């Protein structure tokens, strides 16, 4: 059965349940579309609204004879798996991936494929080949992102997105630091720090981040804070949060540093920022 159809570079991509066929308009009098050479792909589509395109690439959430839950991207007739094991493991826990929706957009030289599920939102950065997760902060709890579809208004040079739960339309802009007035939670976890499970001592943790980005007002963001916590058991439990300032407006040379963090055999560090300010993380030491 046909699941979804999209046109790309004047070719017609027809997604079936377990296969995909690519057709071209040849102008044939009897029937204008003919399947292109090599235009049969043994990868189908698991979610009809997950199909989207950008920069000549077609993306979709796949299914075939062996299983489902892998995200593919194709330029030409050869699909490439772009999802990671971590993303696929997350999708495996979702109740119904067939309801997933997707859209693409470009911002700041980066092209994004946004894949929404009822339980969460995953975004593929085509420029860096990396995934990240987006979320909406609802009374402190993180849920799927509100944006469900997208259009670029060329005459105004703005991106508009529609809310999946109501009739609101938002302007999508990297320079906005809240979700329609609701705080944005930024979470960043570092890779495991270990040395063959030998005991290590942590004299300090330095975060290389753009500082001095506080707001010139007395509300939240005047003295933006960063929260650091860590896990010594693989992420099952976390320490209490350690707070420090990102620097008030103009404090561009402020160093972000936590000291005397004890010993461990295997540790994961994590930082969180909720203030409505610019966040530009460069690295950690």
Cα gap 22→29, rounded to integer Å: 19
User: Within a 10 A sphere around the Cβ of 15, how many other Cβ atoms?
Assistant: 26
Average pLDDT of span 26-41: 87
The 10s digit of each residue's pLDDT in 228-246 is 999 999 999 999 999 999 9
What is the reported pLDDT for 283? 67
The answer, yes or no, to whether residue 46 has pLDDT greater than 80, is yes
Interacting residues of 263 by C-beta distance below 8 A, sequence separation 6+:
199, 200, 201, 202
Residues 77 and 38: their CA atoms lie apart, in Å, by: 7
Q: Count of CB atoms within 10 A of residue 177's CB?
A: 19
pLDDT-derived band at 284 (thresholds 50, 70, 90) equals low
Tell me the average pLDDT across 9-28.
92
Over residues 31-48, the mean pLDDT reads 91
Cα–Cα distance, 83 to 71 (Å, whole number): 5
Q: How far apart are CA 109 and CA 113, in angstroms?
A: 14
Residues 149, 161 contacting (CB under 8 angstroms) = yes
31 versus 44: the higher-pLDDT residue is 44
**CA 54 – CA 8 distance, rounded (Å):** 9
pLDDT for position 216:
80
What is the residue-averaged pLDDT of the chain? 93
| pLDDT one-digit tens code per residue, 117-174 | 999 999 999 989 999 999 999 998 999 999 999 999 999 999 999 999 999 999 999 9
**Burial class for 30, CB neighbours closer than 10 Å (0-12, 13-18, 19+):** exposed
| pLDDT at residue 220, rounded to an integer | 78
- Structural contact between residues 276 and 184, judged by C-beta atoms closer than 8 angstroms: yes
- Label residues 69-95 b or e (16+ Cβ within 10 Å = b): bbbbbbeeeebeebbeeebeebbeeee
> Above 70 in pLDDT, residue 285?
no
Six-digit token string for 181:
């007035």
Asked whether residue 281 carries a pLDDT value surpassing 80, the answer given is yes
Beta bridge partners of 163: 147
pLDDT of residue 122: 98
Q: Can you read off the two tokens belonging to residue 216?
A: 């010139």
* For residues 77-92, average pLDDT: 95
d(Cα 1, Cα 17) in Å, to the nearest integer? 6
Over 90: is that where the pLDDT of 76 sits? Answer: no
pTM over 0.85: yes
């Amino acid at each position: 059965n046909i699941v979804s159809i999209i046109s790309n570079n004047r070719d017609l991509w027809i997604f079936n349940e377990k296969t995909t066929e690519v057709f071209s308009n040849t102008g044939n009098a009897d029937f204008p579309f003919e399947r292109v050479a090599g235009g049969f792909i043994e990868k189908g589509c698991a979610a009809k609204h997950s199909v989207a395109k950008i920069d000549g690439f077609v993306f979709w959430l796949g299914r075939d004879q062996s299983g489902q839950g892998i995200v593919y991207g194709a330029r030409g007739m050869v699909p490439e798996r772009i999802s990671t094991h971590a993303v696929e493991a997350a999708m495996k826990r979702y109740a119904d991936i067939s309801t997933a929706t997707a859209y693409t957009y470009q911002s700041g030289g980066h092209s994004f494929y946004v894949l929404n599920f009822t339980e969460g939102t995953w975004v593929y950065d085509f420029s860096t080949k990396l995934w990240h997760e987006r979320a909406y902060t609802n009374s402190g709890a993180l849920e799927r992102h509100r944006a469900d579809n997208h259009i670029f208004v060329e005459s105004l040079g703005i991106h508009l997105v529609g809310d999946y739960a109501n009739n609101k339309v938002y302007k999508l802009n990297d320079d906005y630091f809240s979700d329609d007035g609701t705080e944005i939670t930024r979470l960043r976890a570092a890779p495991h720090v270990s040395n063959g499970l030998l005991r290590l001592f942590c004299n300090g943790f330095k975060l290389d981040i753009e500082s001095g980005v506080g707001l010139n007002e007395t509300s939240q963001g005047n003295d933006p804070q960063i929260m650091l916590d860590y896990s010594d058991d693989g992420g099952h439990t976390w320490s209490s949060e350690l707070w420090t300032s990102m620097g008030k407006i103009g404090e561009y040379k402020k160093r972000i540093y936590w000291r005397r963090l004890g010993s461990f055999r295997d540790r994961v560090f994590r930082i969180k920022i909720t203030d409505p300010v610019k966040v530009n993380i460069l690295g950690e030491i």
